[in-house]
């Protein structure tokens, strides 16, 4: 049976959405990812992962899927015509509005499943704002946390395959092979950054960056060795990991 929240009728919301329900909002982006990937990468991945998770454990954990928010805050790519982005204010407004509306149901948990690293800090801020405004328990999940925000990257990329790099390209080759053109890919790793101890992706000092600060091509990593089989493993790993996380979310009570 459908686990899409909006396949419910209005009156069904009262029956089916209860205190055990968790509402899942996939969030993607429409933004340049270099010449080898389409602009749809982030929302495709967010939606595919979310669907797979809900298919796998939705019934068991009482998950409900909202339509994907395909456009979000991609202003690190504002320089690239075609990137369609919301301002920080607008995206925060969208999230607070959705939180306010979800809180009119009996559900007590809202998960943001985010495919776009550039949203991470704003979504993290939104978790608290929504919780304070509505009382909802709020969570942020990434298909795979980008290294810039504490995740991991391959050694060969010096930990900097954060936008259009090996992993993301591989996952997308698994999901939409026809939309990837590896012949256009090159190594775009800001090597010198790796020499820094503090001011580097995942270092103790964060820094503001635009995607063309490193190279005019605007992607960061080395997708040249991307491979759909690696992508499949990463995708399935992300899904499995999030399924596990969803079980913790469904039971989460702040350690009380």
Give the footprint of a copy of itself on residues 61-100 (CB under 8 A): 66-71, 75-78, 80-90, 92-94, 97-98
Give the x-and-dash track for 35-54 against a copy of itself (CB under 8 A): xxxxxx--x-----------
CB 148 to a copy of itself: min, Å: 10
Number of residues that bind a copy of itself (CB under 8 A): 111
Rounded CA-CA distance 71/66 in Å is 14
Site residues (CB under 8 A) for a copy of itself, limited to 4-23: 4-14, 17
For residue 59, give Cα distances in angstroms to 2, 239, 253.
9, 16, 21
Q: Which CB, 84 or 229, lies closer to a copy of itself?
A: 84
Q: Which of residues 208-237 bind a copy of itself (CB under 8 A)?
A: 208-210, 213-215, 218
User: Torsion angle of alpha carbons 43, 140, 118, 36, nearest 10°?
Assistant: -40
Minimal distance in Å, beta carbon 59 to a copy of itself? 18
Choices 49-57, 166-174, 196-204, 222-230 (CB under 8 A): range interacting with a copy of itself = 196-204
140 to each of 78, 89, 147, 180, how far by Cα in Å? 24, 19, 16, 28
CB of residue 11 vs a copy of itself: minimum separation in angstroms? Answer: 5
Site membership for a copy of itself, residue 170 (CB under 8 A): no
Is residue 254 near a copy of itself by the rule CB under 8 A? yes
**Nearer residue to a copy of itself within complex by CB, 18 or 229:** 18
How crowded is residue 146: how many other Cβ atoms within 10 Å of its Cβ?
26
Given 20, 59, 199, 236, the residue binding a copy of itself (CB under 8 A): 199
What whole-number distance in Å separates Cα of residue 62 and Cα of residue 75? 35
Least distance between a copy of itself and beta carbon 71 (Å): 7
Distance CA 168, CA 172 (A): 6
Say how far apart CA 140 and CA 21 lie, in whole Å.
16
Q: Could you give phi then psi for residue 25, rounded to 5 degrees?
A: -110, 105
**241 makes contact with a copy of itself (CB under 8 A):** yes
Name which position in 187, 206, 224, 225 contacts a copy of itself (CB under 8 A): 206
Check residue 171 for interaction with a copy of itself (CB under 8 A).
Answer: no
d(CA 61, CA 249): 9
The token pair at 28 is 């993607």
């Amino acid at each position: 049976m459908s686990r899409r929240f909006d396949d419910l009728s209005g009156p069904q919301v009262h029956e089916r959405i209860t205190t055990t329900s968790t509402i899942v909002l996939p969030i993607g982006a429409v933004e340049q990812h270099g010449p080898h990937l389409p602009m749809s990468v982030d929302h495709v991945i967010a939606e595919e992962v979310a669907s797979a998770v809900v298919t796998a454990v939705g019934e068991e954990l009482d998950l409900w899927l909202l339509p994907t928010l395909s456009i979000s805050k991609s202003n690190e790519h504002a320089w690239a015509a075609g990137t369609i982005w919301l301002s920080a204010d607008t995206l925060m407004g969208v999230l607070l509005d959705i939180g306010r509306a979800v809180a009119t149901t009996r559900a007590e948990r809202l998960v943001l499943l985010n495919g776009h690293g550039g949203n991470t800090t704003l979504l993290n801020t939104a978790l608290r704002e929504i919780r304070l405004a509505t009382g909802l328990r709020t969570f942020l999940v990434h298909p795979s946390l980008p290294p810039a925000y504490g995740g991991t990257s391959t050694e060969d990329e010096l930990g900097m395959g954060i936008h259009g790099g090996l992993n993301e390209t591989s996952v997308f080759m698994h999901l939409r092979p026809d939309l990837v053109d590896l012949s256009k890919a090159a190594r775009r790793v800001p090597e010198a950054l790796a020499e820094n101890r503090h001011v580097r992706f995942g270092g103790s000092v964060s820094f503001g960056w635009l995607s063309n600060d490193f190279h005019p091509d605007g992607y960061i990593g080395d997708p040249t060795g991307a491979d759909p089989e690696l992508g499949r493993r990463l995708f399935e790993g992300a899904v499995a990991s999030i399924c596990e996380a969803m079980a913790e979310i469904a039971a989460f009570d702040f350690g009380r």
